[in-house]
Chains A and B, each alone.
Chain A
C-alpha cells in the first residue's frame, strides 16, 4: 500500500544531543511537511518542502532543520534538543500545493532526558 512511513516510532535522546527523525513516502507526492504536536494539542507546522524548495515557518526555532535528499525521503534534524522539544513529530505529504489533501504518517514520539 502507498503510504507515509516514519522511523523510528519512538526516539529517546539526551538533552543537547542531536537527533534525526526520518520520513519516507511511496505516494510520489511533491510536498512533504513536518509538524510538531504536543500532548492534546493541534499539530503545529514547522516547515515544508515543495520538491527541493524549502519553506520555513516564521516561528520555527533555528534548532530545527530539515533535509530532503530525494522525492521519497525527508529528515528532521534537531541540533540541540531541549526538554521543551519533547513531542510527537508528524510527517505529512500532499500531491501539490493547490487544494490537495495532506496525508499523515504515524508520527515519531520524541522523549528528551
Chain B
C-alpha cells in the first residue's frame, strides 16, 4: 500500500515571501502521479499542480512549483511571492497509474500567510 506523509502540520509565511511545503511518499511502483490540492477555509478543494512520475521536469503553475525527487520519493511545493489568498490547507496526494484512479492523501499542511 502507498502512504503519503506531510511532516509539517502547520506553517506560516509573510506576504510576498517564499515558502516550501514538504511531502514524501512510499511506493514500490514506478508509474504514478502526484498532486497538490489547496483547500481554503470553507471553500472548495482545487488542484494546484500535477506531476507525472515519468517526467523529469518539475511542474510549474505561475507562482507554484514543485521539486520532484523520484529517487528520494519527495514532492515538495514551493509557493513564491505568497499572497493572503494562499492561506489554506494543502494536501499532497498520490495516484497509481492503472489502479483505479484512487487518491492517497497526506495529512495536510495548514498554511497561514501573514500580512
Contact = CB atoms under 8 A, between A and B. Distances in A.
Interface in B75-115: 89, 91, 95, 97-98, 100-103, 105-108, 110
Interface residues of A, number: 21
Interface string A3-33: 0000000000000000000000000000100
A89 interface: no
30 contacts: A40-B89, A40-B108, A42-B91, A42-B106, A42-B108, A43-B91, A43-B105, A45-B102, A45-B103, A55-B100, A90-B45, A97-B100, A98-B97, A98-B98, A98-B101, A99-B33, A99-B52, A99-B97, A99-B101, A100-B101, A101-B50, A102-B103, A103-B47, A104-B37, A104-B44, A104-B45, A104-B46, A105-B44, A107-B44, A107-B45
Nearest to B32: A99
Interface in A69-111: 90, 94, 96-107
Interface size class of B (residues with CB under 8 A): 20 to 34
B55 interface: no
Q: Is the interface of B mostly helix, strand, loop or mixed?
A: strand
Interface of A: 31, 40-43, 45, 55, 90, 94, 96-107
B44 A102 contact: no
Contacts of B33: 99
Contacts of B98: 98-99
A103 B46 CA distance: 7
B44 A97 contact: no
B68 interface: no
B100 A101 contact: no
Contacts of A41: 107-108
Given A99-B101, A100-B101, 14 more contacts: A31-B101, A40-B89, A41-B107, A43-B45, A43-B105, A55-B100, A97-B100, A97-B101, A98-B97, A101-B47, A102-B103, A104-B37, A106-B43, A107-B44
B35 interface: yes
A89 to B, nearest CB: 12
